[in-house]
Amino acid sequence: MSFFEAHKRNTTLKKGHYYEDIACQYLKKNKYRIIEKNYRTRLGEIDLICSFNNELIFVEVKGGKRTPEPHLRVDRQKLQRIERTMRHYIHHNEREWEYIRLDVISVSEPDLQIKHFHDVLGY
């Protein structure tokens, strides 16, 4: 990996964490409890795992310029990877939940407008 590629990757990771921090603040303000950040397996990564009442919520965070809106970068392939990672997490954590869902939080620049899409898999 060249210096330029490494720098670009590091900058992208920093921006991703910045948007995740904004999403965490939003979720906490709305009474969600953050369980884990950046859950990684060989199958994929989940940005945030949280709970609300007795629901387990996996959250994909996308941020960036308002046009096109960041949440539009969550495509079918990304959803499939996240779903496999969700199944891995659930399998390795034995707690029973009333409901499990995947949400997407979009953070748009420059005003950091947040859009929260609930239960995008719609089970």
Q: How far apart are CA 104 and CA 61, in angstroms?
A: 6
Q: Is 102 helix (H, G, I), strand (E, B) or coil?
A: strand
* Confidence check: pLDDT of 53 > 50: yes
Amino acid identity of 122?
G
Question: Pick the residue with more confidence: 60 or 69?
Answer: 60
Quick one: what percent of the chain has pLDDT higher than 90? 71
Q: Determine the CATH number of domain 3-117.
A: 3.40.1350.10
Quick check: 20 pLDDT over 50? yes
